[in-house]
Structure 1
Amino acid sequence: MILERLWRWRVALMATVVGVLAAVMRFASLGHPTDLVFDEVFYARGGYSLVELGFEGEWGGDNQDFAHGDFSQLSDEGDFVVHPNTGKLLIGLGMKMFGATPFGWRFFAALFGVAACVILAFTARRLFRSTIWGTVAGVLLAVDGEHVVLSRTALLDGFMTFFVIAGFALLVMDRERTRERLMAAAAQERGALGWGPEVRLPGGGPNLGIRWWRLAAMVAFSVSVSVKWNGLYFMAAFLVLSVVFDWYDRRAAGYEDWFGGGFLRAIPAFLTTVVVLPLVYLASWIPWFTSDNSWGRHWAEQNPGEGVTWLPESLRSLVHYHRQMWDFHKSLDTPHNYESNPWFWPFQWRPTAFYFEDAPDADCGADRCVSAIHAVGDPLLWWVAFAVLLFALWRVVRHRDMLALTLAVGYLAAWVTWLPFAHRTIFTFYTVTMAPFVVLLVVWALQRLAQPARLGGAWSPRGLAIAGVYVGLVLALAGFFAPIWIGDPIPFRYWQLHMWFPSWV
């Protein structure tokens, strides 16, 4: 009983440490800067319009009028926007709760950022079978610059990252429960037949019925798509991975036709996805359906006989609108100071500067003070993670390591899918969706170093020392970079010390 309580206290301590650290990094001075930062110009104003008008109206005037409390430039004419509504609705809800203030439009980004860190800690605890390593994973995400900055700004990518982490966590739960049930069913069959564990069983294994954890994961991934379309990459990658899990576990349970058994059960899962994704995605467009002034809402009525004619008029209009959105994204190649080539994203080669202003009224102890926000990940995390990724891929090919495959799939889904669009105007801050898997890869490597397989899970003093020093250096570097993640006024010379490469300036 005492040991059980102590174990629960360890888990509670993990959640508390991760949650408090993540909250401090995300909520401290959340109302600063008072201006709209980077693309908050689009999403904060879009969120306000959604909760005030029920649709996204067109804005006039200066972009910063909104930040100064002037909402008079919002018209009742629909605006052409190129992302779905879920993220902007959450931003708008924050303003409903706390007013149209910087804290209000950033509140839910920060809250979901904290929740993402805690969920990742619990997921890592399951993956690595260790509360200690779960805590390390949550702490490292809590102090990573990409995730901190995107959790402190009213952009969409932080919300998408949360729902991707949630979907991934649910699939990890599904895999664990499904494997337990498969092994139990195989043991029961062998017991009934009087066979030993070395004998392979006929058939492909049992039908386990509705897998509620996987269904919940489908919903979470579908919501990520309703934030930004590239959530679809994660949904496809991880649901295919769940089929691979099924094949692997049925084979491990000893079923002869493990491939056929897993494939057969994948068919209803695919059909369920085909139903769940459109339903969740369409639900996110309810404000568009219910508002007469939404952009393109009555296109089908104004263009009879055009488009997908067999659909109802409202859906036909929405399909046409999505074609316009797709055409916009395909042709988005306007030069931008901070655009970056995705081939270099793992190295954070061209981080996005969200904000940079002189702060003449600040007392920073220097002649020139500046306030800057740069979405750059902790270099020690990101550079090491790429090396670990190469090792993980080797483990997959050489040893069929399922844990290595799981972590590599998350990293690659966030990165490789952007490589064909290297010619487009895209930014390094999109890598915030990679951040959870950067952390998981690093923690996986640290665990292998501190608890090598040759010791059967026992601690290696040398490996533990190396892992401890590394984590300490990551945290120290996070403390060094924190001012340019949070935007605290600092001496200009101190800001320059953070610009390690010309591409960072």
Structure 2
Amino acid sequence: MAETAVTERPAVAEAPPARPSLLPALNARVPWLVRHAGWLGPIAVALFAGVLRFWNLGYPRAFVFDETYYPKDAWSLLHQGYEGVWPSTANDQILGHPQSIPLESAGAFIAHPPLGKWVIAIGEAAFGLDPFGWRFMVCLLGTLSVLMLARIGRRLFGSTLIGCTAALLLSVDGLQFVMSRTGLLDGVLGFFVLAAFGCLLIDRDRVRARLAEPGVDGNTVRLGLRPWRLAAGLLLGMACSVKWNGAYVLAAFGLLTVLWDQAGRRAAGARFPVRSMLRHDALPAFGSTVLLGAATYLASWTGWFASSGGYDRHWADGRSGLVPAALRSWWHYQSEMWRFNTTLTTPHTYQSNPFSWLVQGRPVSMYWQPVSVGQRGCTDTGGCTTQILAIGTPLLWWTACFALLYLLYRWFFRRDWRSGAVLCGVAATYLPWFQFQQRTIFSFYMVILVPFLCLAIAQMLGAMIGPPGVTARRRAIGSVAAGAIVLAIMGCFLYFLPLYTAEVIPMTGWSDRMWFTTWI
């Protein structure tokens, strides 16, 4: 029997080898994917957003809306250190073949601080005074905003899925898409505001971890140097250096961070958390946000101080005073800017009231060109058109209205700090505009609001799916409903995409997309 067993073994060995199982390889990869999903997911969504935004970025080869101001100011800053004067024929000369750049050395009055134009100038330095050049940096920051929002949502809600959902919604919002492809200041402002919000979230988590350490007394502990709050203060100062409405965000976020400190000390057992916060946290917070922000704002004017040809640069020369003449001239310039920005009431076809912004009642047409039959591929007998319409994806904004109501409920009745944080961002970027009922203002200013709307929707969708521990049936129904909302928003974005990219479409197709007369 032993010999038989031995002689039978070779026959078994000569049988065709079994196909190796893929399960070990998959099991080895899955933990790696799970371990790095917190970055892989956000990067994937950001790449999707980047491809959408950078595709054919140099089209149309034209000055779109207020691009007639900021790219030229950026070029002047790059070469002179201050905004110079351009002749009325400058647009045609810049876009002409061959190109000529008729920049004059005389200083020009400008309505906004210089940092946003310095950012635009980086792209111009790399690619020239060309539509692709002056849109490049705004597009890059718009794409990075998608990446940041995914990470912010992940940290805020403790869920990579919810964070990536918020970022996906941002990537398919029409307003953020258009403003990422246009050389205006608002997209730059939105990047700095969102980055500051993210830094404050990291600072909050680190402070909570410090207060949770054994033996820490919430009444007396000093929290020491807080680099992430310093970074937030720097970013908020940069936001103010792009547009002055960044100051409202600075004030709101400064209040938010000290309220978080108060709540953290209460959780750490402080008997008098307000008193402890005022004693140990309020002054450092003021220095980290307000003082650092003011210093950053002043530094953004370095080019104006270093040059001699800027507008009002020598206004105080020959006037006596204790303060250096350059600073007094600068202060006078700031007062002139304030007067202009608070008294601008010149009527504009596309101006609108903030009451209509959340429902996208009056979008802004930034570019419009009729196209005759037979030109540029137009075959429709009624003619064609090409337009860039700065309108948020309607279904996203309308869904956000319900999401904001849900967050108000969560914050007021459940004391949900996450809802309060998002609502703080909404309030800081939206509510201040209601005081300007007579000023000429536009709905595209709300591009800085869009990330917070996307966070609100993502939080609501997460609640629809359900918390851990719910039944499989409940989770399945919630997942289908949440997925259907996201797909509907993406489909709405694709439907309006021709109006975001100046695609040539028949007039009938354009009319079909004008759902309301106020959109025309």
Structure 2 length-normalised TM: 0.90
CA–CA distance in 1 between the matches of 2:313 and 2:472?
60
| Residue 9 (structure 2) aligns with | none
Larger mean Cα displacement after TM superposition, 153-162 or 50-59: 50-59
Tell me the SS of whatever aligns to 2:105: strand
> Which structure has the greater CA radius of gyration?
2
TM-superposition CA deviations, 1:460-484 (whole Å, max 9, x none) = 1111111000000011111111111
| Residue 295 (structure 1) aligns with | 311
Deviation at 1:396, TM superposition (A): 2.0
Deviation at 1:415, TM superposition (A): 0.9
Please state if 1:482 is matched with 2:509. no
Tell me the SS of whatever aligns to 1:354: strand
Please state if 1:323 is matched with 2:335. yes
> 8 Å contact 1:205–1:261 — kept in the other structure?
yes
| Residue 362 (structure 1) aligns with | 376
CA–CA distance in 2 between the matches of 1:489 and 1:385?
30
CA–CA distance in 1 between the matches of 2:394 and 2:409?
23
| Residue 359 (structure 2) aligns with | 347
TM-superposition CA deviations, 1:170-202 (whole Å, max 9, x none) = 011111111111112xx335xxxxxxxxxxx6x
1:41-440 matched pairs, under 5 angstroms: 41-62=68-89, 64-69=91-96, 70-184=99-213, 187-189=214-216, 204-264=219-279, 265-302=281-318, 304-305=319-320, 309-360=321-372, 361-367=375-381, 368-440=383-455
Amino acid corresponding to residue 160 of structure 1 in structure 2: L
Please state if 1:26 is matched with 2:53. yes
CA–CA distance in 1 between the matches of 2:423 and 2:50?
28
Amino acid corresponding to residue 277 of structure 2 in structure 1: G
TM-superposition CA deviations, 1:25-60 (whole Å, max 9, x none) = 211111111110000001011111111222211111
CA–CA distance in 2 between the matches of 1:65 and 1:2?
57
| Residue 198 (structure 1) aligns with | none
Amino acid corresponding to residue 362 of structure 1 in structure 2: R
Larger mean Cα displacement after TM superposition, 40-49 or 243-252: 243-252
Deviation at 1:393, TM superposition (A): 1.9
Deviation at 1:18, TM superposition (A): 1.3
Deviation at 1:4, TM superposition (A): 5.1
> 8 Å contact 1:362–1:369 — kept in the other structure?
no
Deviation at 1:77, TM superposition (A): 0.7
Structure 1 length-normalised TM: 0.93
Tell me the SS of whatever aligns to 2:310: coil
> 8 Å contact 1:117–1:139 — kept in the other structure?
yes
> 8 Å contact 1:182–1:205 — kept in the other structure?
no
> 8 Å contact 2:406–2:460 — kept in the other structure?
no
> 8 Å contact 1:19–1:118 — kept in the other structure?
yes
Percent sequence identity is 39
TM-superposition CA deviations, 1:206-253 (whole Å, max 9, x none) = 111011111111111111111111111111111211111111122122
1:423-462 matched pairs, under 5 angstroms: 423-452=438-467, 455=470, 460-462=475-477
Tell me the SS of whatever aligns to 1:58: coil
> 8 Å contact 1:371–1:490 — kept in the other structure?
yes
Tell me the SS of whatever aligns to 1:82: coil
Q: How many residues align?
A: 487
CA–CA distance in 2 between the matches of 1:204 and 1:145?
48
Amino acid corresponding to residue 278 of structure 1 in structure 2: A
TM-superposition CA deviations, 1:250-304 (whole Å, max 9, x none) = 21222212221222211122133343122211111111111111000000005x1
CA–CA distance in 1 between the matches of 2:300 and 2:294?
10
> 8 Å contact 2:71–2:120 — kept in the other structure?
yes
> 8 Å contact 2:195–2:235 — kept in the other structure?
yes
Tell me the SS of whatever aligns to 2:95: coil
